[in-house]
């Protein structure tokens, strides 16, 4: 296959001795299947000797019909072969792939260039070795343009599913593979984090019946018979509640008579019709939500407040902040906090990476490697919460017993800390005792850091009104 008309795609497998025979049998099946694949003219596998560590090397070469066929195969079939090898052999096999082409500029089709149109580097394949741009400058349809745009944004190809499964059930494996150079078959770490975080917040906080209410059929108005029935139920409930409230008032008066509580305590509760009303102090606004009466808002009089805080947050500014938040209501304030949570979690990532850097001073790992560990952990956290929420909604739609949902919640609550411990063991490779000690310190730092960052999200929401 040295004199070939079409380009070659070459895949090398560096294999340990215990998996050599199994790999050879598997490669025979791969070559047979590839020979029948559309776009492949020929395929073969051969022994390429051993590497510098004494491990055997097996090489597969696939001759494509032309460059277009090679592009299609690289985007799908050849990637599936690499993924299948990783799933079947795991750490026992290292996969390396490349495309081989004849370096003759006069053989290039009219729509190709011998040099990269982006940076001017001489081309020796379908991609530029300097900037990575394709060698061809082709016109594409609107559908292809949209497909590439959403593909680049969400990477919704087979790498997503190849990333999700080990992320969920193999703690630390993605981080270890990435640090050891096995990266092509997985979605990039930060893209994984961003995609799963977006999906989580959509699943957790987007209610179709609320946000897209106009698209749903409105609920039918109750009939006259249903209204009468609801009124009767309300009267029965009010009567029962009144009896309970009368009994509570009687106990309060008895406690007043015995001197256990101060006088006029029971008088603060005033019966109104069939219910009970709590009398508020005149300086308190019961409709002010969590912000209460803004007239008394002040922090400048506190002795333990730093001077730089008291200068920036005068009584007048604090009252203005209180009034603005009071005007937008509790629900909007809570939404503002939720909007700041993703930023708070991103801020938490480098803080926890610094903690890992301090916990493993002799690991010779860079800060970004510790950061990668927590990027994958947070991605796992989002993924398991997504699955839990979807499972709970499925159970609710099927009207199943809530006990199952409770068991799933308990199992998830136990699995997350266990996952973190196993990930530390796999990535950093220390014994159980040292890992447990560092795990406890990391857990303490994580809870403290999460509290501080969420408090920061609260303050940003408070001051951004």
Chain-centre distance of CA 289, in angstroms? 33
Mean pLDDT, residues 199-221? 68
Q: What is the pLDDT of residue 462?
A: 74
Mean pLDDT, residues 161-184? 88
Mean pLDDT, residues 205-225? 64
Q: Which of 110-119, 358-367, 406-415, 428-437 has the lowest mean pLDDT?
A: 110-119
For residue 243, pLDDT beyond 50: yes
Instruction: Return the ∠ at Cα 316 (arms to 310 and 322), rounded to 5°.
Output: 100
**Beta strands 8-15 and 56-64: pairing type?**
antiparallel
Predicted confidence (pLDDT) per residue in 48-90, tens digit:
888 878 888 998 988 888 878 888 888 788 888 888 888 888 8
Indicate the pLDDT class of residue 216, thresholds 50, 70 and 90.
low
Is there a contact between 348 and 450 (Cβ–Cβ < 8 Å)? yes
Percentage with pLDDT > 70 across the chain: 69
How far, in Å, CA of 39 to CA of 64, rounded?
Answer: 6
Predicted confidence (pLDDT) per residue in 282-296, tens digit:
344 444 455 556 666
What token pair was written down for 12?
């090398």
Q: What is the pLDDT of residue 223?
A: 75
Give 3-state DSSP helix, strand, coil % of the chain, rounded to 5: 60, 10, 30
- The half-sphere exposure of 346 on its side-chain side, counting CA atoms within 13 A, is 10
Q: What is the pLDDT of residue 181?
A: 82
b/e sequence 342-353, b meaning 16+ C-beta within 10 Å: eebbeebbebbb
For residue 305, pLDDT beyond 70: no
How far, in Å, CA of 459 to CA of 455, rounded?
Answer: 6
For residue 281, pLDDT beyond 70: no
Indicate the pLDDT class of residue 211, thresholds 50, 70 and 90.
low
Say which residue the tokens 């072969």 belong to. 81
How far, in Å, CA of 163 to CA of 177, rounded?
Answer: 11
DSSP reduced 3-state for 380 = helix
Q: Which residues pair with 99 in a beta bridge?
A: 9
Please give the mean pLDDT across all residues of the chain: 76
Say which residue the tokens 């090397």 belong to. 57
Q: Which residue has the higher pLDDT, 245 or 61?
A: 61
How far, in Å, CA of 371 to CA of 349, rounded?
Answer: 7
DSSP secondary structure letter of residue 216:
S
Predicted confidence (pLDDT) per residue in 310-363, tens digit:
666 666 777 777 777 676 666 666 777 777 788 888 899 999 999 999 999 888
Say which residue the tokens 């990269």 belong to. 116
How far, in Å, CA of 338 to CA of 323, rounded?
Answer: 21
Mean pLDDT, residues 249-265? 67
Predicted confidence (pLDDT) per residue in 86-130, tens digit:
888 888 888 888 887 644 443 444 445 566 777 777 666 666 767
Q: What is the pLDDT of residue 280?
A: 37
How far, in Å, CA of 315 to CA of 297, rounded?
Answer: 7
Indicate the pLDDT class of residue 150, thresholds 50, 70 and 90.
low
Q: Which residue has the higher pLDDT, 355 or 393?
A: 355
Global confidence as pTM: 0.55
| Whole-angstrom Cα Rg for the chain | 33
For residue 442, pLDDT beyond 90: yes
Write 182-190 long-range contacts (CB < 8 A, 24+). 182/86, 182/94, 182/95, 184/82, 184/97, 185/79, 185/82, 185/83, 185/86, 185/95, 185/159, 186/159, 186/162, 187/155, 187/159, 187/160, 187/162, 187/163, 188/155, 189/372, 189/375, 189/376, 189/379, 190/375
DSSP reduced 3-state for 445 = helix
Mean pLDDT, residues 31-43? 88
Is there a contact between 269 and 276 (Cβ–Cβ < 8 Å)? yes
How far, in Å, CA of 64 to CA of 40, rounded?
Answer: 5
Indicate the pLDDT class of residue 270, thresholds 50, 70 and 90.
very low
Q: What is the pLDDT of residue 267?
A: 62
Indicate the pLDDT class of residue 277, thresholds 50, 70 and 90.
very low
For residue 232, pLDDT beyond 70: yes
DSSP secondary structure letter of residue 156:
-
Indicate the pLDDT class of residue 264, thresholds 50, 70 and 90.
low
How far, in Å, CA of 418 to CA of 116, rounded?
Answer: 50
* Of 74, 92, 88, 30, nearest in space to 184 by CA: 74
Burial class of residue 251 in the structure, from the number of CB atoms within 10 Å of its CB (0-12 exposed, 13-18 middle, 19+ buried): exposed
């Amino acid at each position: 296959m040295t004199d070939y008309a079409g380009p070659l795609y070459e895949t090398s497998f560096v294999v340990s001795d215990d998996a050599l025979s199994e790999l050879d049998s598997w490669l025979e099946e791969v070559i047979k299947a590839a020979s029948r694949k559309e776009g492949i003219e020929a395929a073969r596998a051969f022994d390429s000797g051993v590497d510098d560590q004494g491990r055997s090397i097996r090489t597969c070469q696939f001759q494509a019909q032309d460059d277009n066929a090679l592009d299609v195969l690289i985007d799908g079939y050849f990637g599936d072969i690499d993924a299948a090898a990783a799933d079947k052999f795991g750490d026992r096999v290292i996969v390396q792939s490349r495309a081989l082409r004849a370096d003759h500029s006069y053989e290039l089709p009219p729509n190709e260039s011998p040099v990269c149109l982006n940076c001017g580097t001489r081309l020796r394949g379908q991609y530029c070795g300097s900037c990575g741009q394709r060698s061809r400058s082709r016109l594409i349809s609107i559908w292809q343009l949209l497909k590439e745009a959403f593909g680049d944004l969400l990477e919704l190809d087979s790498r997503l599913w190849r990333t999700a499964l080990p992320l969920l059930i193999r703690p630390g494996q993605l981080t270890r593979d990435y640090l050891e150079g096995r990266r092509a078959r997985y979605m990039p770490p930060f893209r994984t984090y961003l995609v799963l975080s977006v999906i989580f917040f959509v699943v957790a906080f987007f209610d179709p019946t609320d946000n897209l209410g106009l698209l749903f059929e409105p609920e039918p108005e109750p009939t006259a018979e249903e209204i009468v029935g609801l009124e009767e139920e309300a009267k029965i409930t009010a009567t029962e509640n009144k009896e309970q409230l009368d009994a509570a008032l009687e106990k309060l008066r008895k406690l007043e008579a015995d001197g256990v509580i101060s006088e006029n305590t029971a008088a603060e509760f005033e019966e109104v019709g069939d219910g009970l009303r709590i009398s508020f102090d005149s300086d308190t606004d019961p409709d002010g939500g969590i912000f209460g009466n803004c007239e008394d808002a002040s922090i400048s009089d506190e002795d333990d407040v730093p001077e730089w805080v008291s200068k920036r947050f005068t009584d007048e500014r604090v009252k203005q902040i209180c009034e603005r938040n009071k005007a937008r209501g509790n629900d909007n304030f809570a939404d503002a906090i939720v909007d700041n949570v993703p930023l708070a979690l991103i801020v938490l990532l480098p803080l926890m990476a610094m903690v890992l850097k301090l916990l493993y001073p002799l690991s010779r790992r860079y800060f970004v490697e510790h950061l990668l560990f927590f990027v994958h952990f947070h991605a796992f956290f989002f993924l398991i919460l997504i699955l839990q929420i979807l499972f709970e909604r499925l159970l609710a739609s099927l009207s199943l017993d809530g006990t199952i949902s409770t068991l799933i919640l308990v199992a998830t609550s136990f699995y997350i800390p266990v996952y973190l411990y196993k990930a530390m063991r796999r990535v950093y490779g220390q014994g159980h005792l040292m890992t447990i000690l560092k795990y406890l310190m990391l857990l303490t730092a994580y809870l403290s850091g999460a509290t501080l960052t969420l408090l920061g999200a609260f303050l940003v929401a408070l001051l951004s009104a």
